[in-house]
Amino acid sequence: MKNSGAMKMYLALAILLAIAETLLIVFGKANLPISGLILFIMFYALAFTVQRTEKLKGLSFTMQIFAFVSFTLYFPQIFTDWGFNTNSLIVPSVQVIMFGMGTKLSFSDFAKELSKPLKVIIGTIMCYVLMPLIALLIIKVYNFPPEVAAGIILLGVGPAGAASNVMTYLAKGNLALSMTVTTLTTLISPIASPFLMKLFAGQLIEVDAIGMMISILNMLFIPVFAGIIINKILYGNLSWTKKNANIGIMGVVSFITGFILLFISFPALLNSLKIGLILIAWAITIVSVTIIVVRRTDGPANWMDMVLPKLSLGAIMLYIVIVAAHNKATLLSIGPALFLAVIVHNLLGYISGYSLFRAFGFSEADARAITMEVGTKNAGLAVGLAYDVLKSTAAALAPLIFGTWMNISASSLATFWSQREPGAKADKRKKST
């Protein structure tokens, strides 16, 4: 009852603030700073409202994103200059997210999930073909600036997003297939993504394919690999990890390694890789120290699962407000059209993925998994690549909006399917996968 009362209070506050914002728009005062504050509080009130409902609580973070983006567009100067160019925080933010994803994986996951060839191969091809082709169609229809158009293609040529696995599970799809395709699209992304980007967007913006490959290794593979190592240490039941002394040695070694790397000269092309290695080495140091502290203080055994999701959400919010702040003018001028284009991109991905996979004769559960794989992209990686490789935060706008909208569309579709059993219809091909 108390929860219901709080929900009603937050909802009433959101409605009152929505009315106030509407009045400001009607009287031509929507550009005043007070409007930004109203939108910020309104969306946060909505976040607290949906958080208290079982079916909608997954949208709470999306509402928080809307809150901060609204605030950022009114007060961009807060997020553009902190004594240094805040754009430099985009790549580390993506690395934090990927590190968190890595801690949920193990080496056995890769071997196990890559043992089912047919559906995986077809699903992977669809992920790397359908979304880039849809992206090309969209930029033909919309007359976006070249950098913005390149960002749409960049999103399309990227690997499937980790969120697809969660959404597949909720949608009662084939989770094993989803994990397999996510893994494979990620593994081949250093080769596939630069090639496709050069092919489809080379005429729009200069694309450094080799640089893009290095950047993917830096932002995706290094932090994920480090996360897998930490997963093995925490949950792998390794005998040497039982002793705090050994964990301490690992922490010292990783710290020294990061320090030594500071003084090693890397070729210019590999400099981002050097920075990534240093950051991850010191991340392992921090984790090592935390392990010892938690053990000595009888802290929670699942501390990693408690901390990293919150840290990842914070990292997502950070790069969102930075990109929005640095591209206020572009976002305000083409924002509505770009938002519509992103929605179309995402929905056509779902429709084409589902329809084609069913046309191949695969089961409903399989089709649901591939639907999520095709339509749910690694938007965070695309944001990082836009800045790190294309040297354009304008190119990050489409992935930025896509990542926000994707949470809404994927969770809505998953909720719809969760109420409908996929059935036991066998694969018409009758082939082992």
pLDDT of residue 3: 66
Domain boundary among 23, 52, 74: 74
The three state secondary structure string of 207-247 is: CCHHHHHHHHHHHHHHHHHHHHHHHHHHHCCCHHHHCHHHH
Is the domain of 274 the same as that of 134? yes
Give the CATH number for residue 304: 1.20.1530.20
Helices 379-388 and 209-216 cross at an angle (nearest 10°) of: 130
Residue 404 has pLDDT above 50, yes or no: yes
Judge whether 281 lies within some domain: yes
pLDDT of residue 115: 63
Judge whether 80 lies within some domain: no
Closest CA to 352 of 155, 193, 125, 119: 125
Judge whether 82 lies within some domain: no
Domain enclosing residue 401, as ranges? 87-418
More confident: 241 or 16: 16
Is the domain of 260 the same as that of 140? yes
More confident: 430 or 35: 35
Lowest mean pLDDT among 31-40, 269-278, 411-420: 411-420
Number of domains in the chain: 2
The letter for the amino acid at 378 is: N
State the residue for tokens 């976002």: 331
Residue 88 has pLDDT above 90, yes or no: no
- Three-class SS of residue 160? strand
The whole-angstrom distance between residue 118's C-alpha and the CA centroid of its chain comes to 27
Judge whether 200 lies within some domain: yes
The backbone torsions φ and ψ at residue 81, rounded to the nearest 5 degrees and listed phi first, read: -140, 110
Average pLDDT over residues 300-329: 83
DSSP string, 303-333: HHHHHHHHHHHHHHHHHHHHHHHHTHHHHHH
pLDDT band at 102 (very low <50, low <70, confident <90, very high): confident
Is the domain of 67 the same as that of 108? no
Is the domain of 18 the same as that of 66? yes
Contact at 8 Å (CB) between 365 and 180? Answer: no
Domain boundary among 23, 43, 74: 74
Is the domain of 114 the same as that of 207? yes
**Model confidence, pTM:** 0.76
pLDDT of residue 192: 92
Domain boundary among 50, 74, 98: 74
The letter for the amino acid at 55 is: K
Is the domain of 249 the same as that of 148? yes
Residue 433 has pLDDT above 50, yes or no: no
pLDDT of residue 374: 94
